[in-house]
Amino acid sequence: MSRTFLGLPAAGGSGGSSPRASTAPRGVGHLRGTEPFPAAARKALADSQLRRNLGKATATIRAKRAAAVAELPDWEDLRNAGQAIKAETMRHLDRHLAQLEAEVQARGGTVHWARDATEANQIVAGLILATGSREAVKVKSLATDEIGLNDALAAAGITAYETDLAELIIQLGRDRPSHILVPAIHRNRAEIREIFLREMGDADPGLTDEPAALAEAARLHLRRKFLSARVGISGANFAVAQTGTLCVLESEGNGRMCLTLPETLITVMGIEKVIPSWRDLGVFLQLLPRSSTGERMNPYTTMWTGVTPGDGPQQFHLVLLDNGRTAALADEAGRPALHCIRCSACMNVCPVYERTGGHAYGSVYPGPIGAVLSPQLTGVEDNASLPYASSLCGACYDACPVKIDIPSLLVHLRARHVEEARAARRVPGPEAVTMAAASWVMADPRRYAAAQRAGRAGRALSRGGRIRSLPPPLSAWTRARDMPAPPPRTFRQWWRDSGRDLS
């Protein structure tokens, strides 16, 4: 049936490789940034227009979501159900995927298994070339962005047209998405007008920055593409194994066009998107719109099952993508990151995301969920700064519709990072040395009290009870904040001096 299954190398495959499931390969796709998060964040924080655009947009979506969620008295029950369904599905992912494959094939679709981004790109390019077409229209899809499909298709001589309004803005502006639901959230409408006028070619020179005018310009620009394209490409929000049904939720209707007008439809889906049954889908169709756009129901829900003669695409290909997901599945503590239904509620409530924006994360998956998903897909070493890109404030966990305990996952991945560096026998860095020393000191109350006495030397650095400058790494603190001078007596000295019992 398949060359790869659940990420495991096919029998007789690449010999001598690690027994662990493979992670997403380097050099293809968009899961790794070019610099660590703190450096990328520093640049983003200096962009006051970006701060303003993001602050306004996330505050608006946060308020909408809060209102939509507050309407449902059984919201917590729904979250618990969503979490339980996802956990149970992951436990038997192999069975559900095999059932999905069988049901899709039984209804006239073709299923392809892609071990990683490179394989998936080859499969999709090959399928398009086989149709004789050199163009494709695309539904907004994170999976195809994750694998860098547009670049791979361009290299094969195929032009892919993004048809989601925000993705179109990104594509025309030769930009990168910065949010999984609102990819152009970092742009305001004046900037979007400029991009359209500059890049669209057929935009009315009198175009204003009214949202309706911008949408109309995009509509006119895209209509020709919808009517002429012979191949459509999509991702999937859900796939129901029970009947082999694929499901896409969207707001603009462009998705419906791409999913119904072309002769050939190619869907690229991460293997974790499968759900067992239609009953399960009912839970997620309630959780997702309220969590993402803050709507009771999204405007367009398109579902298709195999092919129907004379109606819609006559060729349907489903590409099941691993690209590091089996590796994430294998880590039981990290696995819940695969439960994500891509609603974006976590990034909309995240105080770090709100200030740095999505580009700083360097991955198609930004924000809190990206900080726990990207490092698992690529291997922690390749995204080592992301698990630390959080103050662990916990707002993401409260907002997550499937109750992914993102703060605990972040802490787990930080531990994996430290442990993997240790196992690789790299020379301990200054942080590791400091942490080991602090542990040694704190493990014994006498050493601890001695360290407190030594720390009192810090009083020499203070003026008026505060310290304005400390050496590295504490200089990172005193660049923007004062530090209190150590007091003349510690608490434990006060306790002794007060004559209270020593227990």
Helices (H), 350-389: 351-356, 367-378
**Stretch touching other proteins by CB under 8 A, among 22-30, 83-91, 245-253, 484-492:** 484-492
Q: Which of residues 103-142 bind other proteins (CB under 8 A)?
A: none
**Stretch touching other proteins by CB under 8 A, among 83-91, 161-169, 304-312, 381-389:** 381-389
Q: Per-residue DSSP letters for 169-203?
A: HHHHTT----SSSSTTTT--HHHHHHHHHHH-SS-
Q: Are strands 315-321 and 466-467 parallel, antiparallel or unpaired?
A: unpaired
User: In this chain, which of 41, 85, 203, 231 binds other proteins, going by CB under 8 A?
Assistant: 41
Question: Nearest 5°: phi and psi at 251?
Answer: -115, -25
The residue among 402 and 413 lying less far from other proteins, judged by its C-beta, is 413
Whole-number minimum distance, CB 187 to other proteins, in Å? 20
Q: What is the 3 state secondary structure string of 211-224? A: HHHHHHHHHHHHHH
Q: What is the helix (H) or strand (E) element at residue 282, kind and residue range?
A: helix 278-292
The residue among 263 and 405 lying less far from other proteins, judged by its C-beta, is 405
Q: Can you state the angle between helices 278-292 and 48-70, rounded to 10 degrees?
A: 130
Q: What share of the chain is helix, strand, coil (3-state, %, to 5)?
A: 50, 10, 35
Whole-number minimum distance, CB 336 to other proteins, in Å? 14
Q: Which of residues 329-368 bind other proteins (CB under 8 A)?
A: 333, 351-352, 355-356
Please tell me whether residue 490 binds other proteins under the rule CB under 8 A: yes
The residue among 14 and 34 lying less far from other proteins, judged by its C-beta, is 34
Collapsed DSSP state (helix, strand, coil) of residue 231: strand
Please tell me whether residue 417 binds other proteins under the rule CB under 8 A: yes
Question: Is the distance from CB of 303 to CB of 247 less than 8 angstroms?
Answer: yes
**Stretch touching other proteins by CB under 8 A, among 74-82, 134-142, 309-317, 390-398:** 390-398
**Residues 284-323 as x/- pattern, contact with other proteins by CB under 8 A:** ----------------------------------------
Whole-number minimum distance, CB 177 to other proteins, in Å? 20
- Please report the sign of the dihedral spanned by the C-alpha atoms of residue 195, residue 198, residue 199, residue 205: positive
Q: What is the helix (H) or strand (E) element at residue 301, kind and residue range?
A: strand 300-305
The residue among 37 and 226 lying less far from other proteins, judged by its C-beta, is 37
User: In this chain, which of 296, 442, 450, 459 binds other proteins, going by CB under 8 A?
Assistant: 442
Question: Is the distance from CB of 137 to CB of 231 less than 8 angstroms?
Answer: yes
Whole-number minimum distance, CB 478 to other proteins, in Å? 8
Which pair of tokens denotes residue 360?
């700083």
**Stretch touching other proteins by CB under 8 A, among 6-14, 34-42, 82-90, 223-231:** 34-42
- Please report the sign of the dihedral spanned by the C-alpha atoms of residue 170, residue 174, residue 178, residue 179: positive
Number of residues that bind other proteins (CB under 8 A): 68
Please tell me whether residue 438 binds other proteins under the rule CB under 8 A: yes
User: In this chain, which of 84, 285, 432, 461 binds other proteins, going by CB under 8 A?
Assistant: 432
Whole-number minimum distance, CB 66 to other proteins, in Å? 12
Q: No. of H helices and E strands in the chain?
A: 22, 12
User: In this chain, which of 49, 154, 299, 495 binds other proteins, going by CB under 8 A?
Assistant: 495
Question: Is the distance from CB of 322 to CB of 4 less than 8 angstroms?
Answer: yes
**Stretch touching other proteins by CB under 8 A, among 33-41, 85-93, 183-191, 290-298:** 33-41
Q: Which of residues 47-86 bind other proteins (CB under 8 A)?
A: 51
CA distance 338 to 323: 12
Buried b (16+ CB within 10 A) or exposed e, 22-41: bbbbeebbbbbbeebbeebb
Please tell me whether residue 462 binds other proteins under the rule CB under 8 A: no
**Stretch touching other proteins by CB under 8 A, among 126-134, 262-270, 323-331, 447-455:** 447-455
**Stretch touching other proteins by CB under 8 A, among 151-159, 179-187, 367-375, 433-441:** 433-441
Please tell me whether residue 381 binds other proteins under the rule CB under 8 A: no
User: In this chain, which of 52, 435, 450, 459 binds other proteins, going by CB under 8 A?
Assistant: 435
Whole-number minimum distance, CB 406 to other proteins, in Å? 11
Chain-centroid distance, C-alpha 214 = 27
The residue among 132 and 445 lying less far from other proteins, judged by its C-beta, is 445
Calculate the alpha carbon distances from 416 to 37, 307, 410, 423 in Å.
18, 45, 10, 10
Say which residue the tokens 């198609």 belong to.
364
Residue 458: exposure state from Cβ atoms within 10 A (0-12, 13-18, ≥19): middle
Collapsed DSSP state (helix, strand, coil) of residue 141: coil
User: In this chain, which of 397, 401, 402, 406 binds other proteins, going by CB under 8 A?
Assistant: 397
User: In this chain, which of 14, 18, 48, 503 binds other proteins, going by CB under 8 A?
Assistant: 503
The residue among 268 and 413 lying less far from other proteins, judged by its C-beta, is 413
User: In this chain, which of 443, 457, 460, 499 binds other proteins, going by CB under 8 A?
Assistant: 443
Q: How many CA atoms lie within 13 A of 492 on its CB side?
A: 9
State the residues that interact with other proteins by CB under 8 A. 37-38, 41-42, 45, 51, 333, 351-352, 355-356, 387-395, 397-398, 408, 411, 414-419, 431-432, 435-436, 438-439, 442-445, 448, 452, 455, 466, 468, 473-474, 476-477, 479-484, 486-487, 489-495, 500-503
